[in-house]
DNA sequence: TTGTATGCGTTATCAA
DNA sequence: TTGATAACGCATACAA
């Protein structure tokens, strides 16, 4: 015996399928009707089929969050925030990993047309015209957690990297560190470009002589280590800012290998203020770019747009703060 | 104008909906038919609706992976492995966080009856009769990544914690550490109970005098720190084995706070061999309980069972290895 | 308030 | 090989 349908419940309760549906969805019904239906539901162990319901109402009550790398702890933070908001609104969250290739991102957005989910929060690592186009043409609402042009006409919520970079530089200068190096991720990515600009701005504003910039191959721990190796063969900075926490932890490992103490010899600042910042040793001073708040607001924007698709696209910017820990003096 | 349906494609191509469906699903058709349909599909930008398809074929081509805590890096490893297998088989993966409460796990398994997904891999932290019952009664195939009784009649793939614990103890003894402490997670959890038994066995086998056992409140970094604090006020072990990497990193932080050097004063071994083990400082010697392989095999079992529900339940045990890093001499 | 009947978009069965 | 048509399980417009 397979799963009972609403028709069998109706038969068992001696009422119509419409009445069963109404009771199940909390629409007006007499006390007796409610009792009869609920009893039948109970007895048969009836559970509504979400597939059929989805087809009928045109919604899956499922939302997608697309991130580049589930191994990056910043996405854990963001995921938690998004999950909290959407589940409170009665949606399930589907987390998808796109990888760092933009064609996979485009394929994902295009695939949304199949109706897997009612909406999408995407945090794209790389953005090109194809991606913007696919987002604009997407059948379901999309919110970008990241930076795309206003012309894309889409809700966005992004971090303020330049401001965050300024916080990091100010902190280091206040602690007397003036030879500041910068380890970035790939500059052809959205966060990479933003961090690069932020660092350049800060250097100019504070009239620093930048003690070298290096572009790691990726935003990962391994890339951070490799960058660190390359780095300390050429420069001798007394501080280094990294584009995210994973890179920073990688660099710290390499510093240790070179016998340099953190923060005594070299101060290190990460970005994202992820759980890893707290767990690393020494605990990592990190720029909190508001990943939790960005996730929360992105989810809220998505829900709002699902509710009303005519509203004007919002562009939210979340301001950074600095979480000072022991990797800086 | 909204998304085109198969009927509109049929009209545009001047053929029947049945023919369109056939072409789209690669069933036999004449060359000309294929061309005409594909052209119409192209022109209209038709994309099949997965909701309707799901209702008709009774499958969503979606699989669920349920884990306790997305912040635990061991699940990242497992998730990656599962994702790889299921996506190769044409399924999307939905990752769900259950938290550590068994009633949430039961609710999740029960909810599968709604037909959200075609199968479930669950890695339960706590197991009770309700959960076993819900798994046995579940409408879709379930594979347990963890330890449940054979009487549950379900496919399982689990780690060999006792063996892993033995590896850790042997390694420490070989390095001359004889006062070995143990920081476990909650013993009312599946992994907690398994680790506890494993440590007790190893202590007996190697005739150790255990230098204290402590039960942390959770399998988290914060709980590890708290456990470490409590610990080093009472005991002075020269080695400590932790039930997972997060706990181990927490304990190492506390050791540093007490001015104890790792591994010189105290050797530390974690379990799971997650990415965090590599990233921690010093890099953490960790028992690899085969989380990647467990994920892979669990996914394979699930696919096999979806394919044939009559096959006899398999119980796979994955053997551990030791990843030696610098937190041990 | 309740029941009847229709349709959501697709696949599958059956005749042609 | 192709076309007409009946489901899949549910929600809802409309009638009673």
Please give the span between the terminal C-alpha atoms of chain A, in angstroms, as a whole number. 69
Task: To the nearest 10°, report the CA torsion of A80, A83, A88, A94.
Answer: -160
B129 and B208 in a common domain: no
Nearest nt by C1' to A3 Cα: D9
Q: Which residues of B touch A48 (CB under 8 A)?
A: 114
Listed as ranges, the nucleotides of chain C within 7 A of a protein C-beta are: 1-5, 7-13
Supply the range of the domain harboring residue B19: 6-48
A21 and A102 in a single domain? The answer is: no
Q: Does residue B121 sit within a domain? A: yes
pLDDT band at B44 (very low <50, low <70, confident <90, very high): very high
The answer on A266 and A206 residing in a single domain is yes
Phi, psi of A80 (to 5 degrees): -60, -45
Q: Which of B302, B290, B271, B292 is nearest to B144 (CA)?
A: B302
Note whether A213 and A242 are within 8 A (CB).
Answer: no
Q: Are B325 and B277 in contact (CB under 8 A)?
A: yes
Asked whether residue B120 is assigned to any structural domain, the reply reads: yes
Spatial contact of A219 and A162, defined as CB atoms under 8 Å apart: no
Residue B231 shares a structural domain with residue B219 = yes
Which residues have CB under 8 Å from A113's CB, separation 6+?
A138, A139, A140, B3, B47
Q: B3–A113: do the CB atoms touch at under 8 Å?
A: yes
Of B50, B76, B114, nearest to A47 by CB-CB distance is: B114
Q: Are B324 and B171 in contact (CB under 8 A)?
A: yes
Most confident of A200-204, B90-94, B291-295: B291-295
| A78 and A165 assigned to the same domain | no
Domain assignment present for residue A327? The answer is: no
pLDDT at B298 over 90: yes
Q: Are residues A270 and A208 in the same domain?
A: yes
In a domain? residue A53: no
Which positions ≥6 away from A103 have C-beta within 8 Å? A130
Residues B136 and B240 in one domain: no
Do the domain assignments include residue B77?
yes
For position B100, what pLDDT does the model report?
Answer: 85
Distance between CA atoms of residues A295 and A65, nearest Å:
10
Inter-residue contact A144 to A137 (CB < 8 Å): no
pLDDT band at B230 (very low <50, low <70, confident <90, very high): confident
The CATH number linked to B151 is: 3.40.50.2300
Tokens of B69: 């805590």
pLDDT above 80: residue A232: no
Residue B301, token pair as written in the block: 């079992």
Q: Is residue B329 part of a domain?
A: no
Q: How many domains, in total, are found in chain B?
A: 3
Overall average pLDDT of the A197-209 stretch: 90
Q: Is A240 helix (H, G, I), strand (E, B) or coil?
A: strand
Task: Give the nucleotide with minimal C1' distance to the Cα of B57.
Answer: C11
User: Are residue A68 and residue A121 in the same domain, yes or no?
Assistant: yes
Q: Does the distance separating the beta carbons of A60 and B55 come in below 8 Å? A: no
User: Do residues A212 and A233 lie in contact, with contact meaning Cβ atoms separated by under 8 Å?
Assistant: no
Which residues of chain A are at the B interface, by a Cβ-Cβ cutoff of 8 Å? Answer: 3, 47-52, 54-55, 58, 60, 62, 70-71, 73, 76, 79-80, 83, 92-97, 110, 113-116, 139, 221, 246, 249-250, 252-253, 256, 275-276, 278-281, 283
Q: Work out if B31's Cβ lies within 7 angstroms of strand D.
A: no
In a domain, B53, yes or no: no
Query: What average pLDDT is seen over chain A?
Result: 94
pLDDT at B58: 94
Residues A110 and A170 in one domain: no
- A68 and A117 both lie in a single domain: yes
Same domain, A142 and A235: no
A295 and A273 together in one domain: no
- Cα A139 to chain centroid distance, Å, stands at 21
Residue with tokens 């009856």: B113
Q: How far is CA A310 from CA A99, A138, A153, A154, A305, in A?
A: 32, 15, 12, 11, 8
Q: How far is the CA of A305 from the C1' of C8 (A)?
A: 23
Query: pLDDT tens digit string along A57-73?
Result: 999 999 999 999 988 99
Residue B326 forms part of a structural domain: no
Q: What is the pLDDT of residue A1?
A: 53
């Amino acid at each position: 015996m397979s799963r009972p349908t609403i028709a069998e419940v109706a038969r068992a309760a001696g009422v119509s399928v419409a009445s069963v549906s109404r009771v199940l969805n909390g629409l007006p019904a007499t006390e007796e009707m409610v009792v009869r239906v609920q009893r039948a539901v109970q007895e048969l162990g009836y559970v509504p089929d979400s597939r059929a319901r989805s087809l009928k109402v045109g919604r899956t009550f499922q939302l997608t969050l697309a991130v580049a790398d589930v191994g990056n702890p910043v996405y854990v933070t963001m995921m938690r925030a998004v999950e909290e908001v959407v589940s409170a609104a009665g949606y399930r969250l589907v987390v998808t990993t796109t990888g760092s290739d933009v064609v996979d991102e485009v394929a994902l957005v295009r695939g949304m047309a199949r109706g897997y989910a009612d909406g999408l929060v995407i945090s794209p690592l790389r953005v090109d015209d194809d991606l913007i186009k696919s987002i604009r043409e997407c059948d379901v609402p999309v919110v970008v957690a990241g930076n795309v042009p206003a012309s894309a006409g889409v809700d966005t919520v992004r971090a303020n990297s330049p401001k965050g970079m300024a916080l990091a530089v100010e902190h280091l200068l206040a602690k007397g560190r003036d030879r500041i190096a910068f380890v970035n991720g790939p500059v052809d990515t959205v966060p990479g470009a933003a961090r690069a600009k932020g660092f350049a701005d800060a250097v100019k504003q504070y009239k620093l002589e930048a003690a070298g910039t290096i572009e790691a191959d990726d935003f990962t721990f391994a890339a951070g280590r490799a960058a660190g190796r390359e780095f300390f063969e050429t420069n001798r900075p007394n501080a280094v800012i990294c584009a995210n926490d994973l890179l920073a932890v990688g660099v710290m490992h390499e510093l240790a290998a070179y016998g340099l103490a953190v923060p005594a010899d070299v101060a290190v600042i990460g970005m994202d203020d992820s759980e890893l910042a707290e767990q690393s040793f020494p605990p990592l001073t990190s720029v909190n770019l508001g990943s939790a708040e960005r996730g929360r607001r992105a989810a809220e924007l998505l829900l709002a747009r699902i509710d009303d698709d005519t509203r004007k696209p919002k562009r939210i910017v979340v301001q950074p703060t600095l979480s000072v820990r022991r990797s800086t003096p």
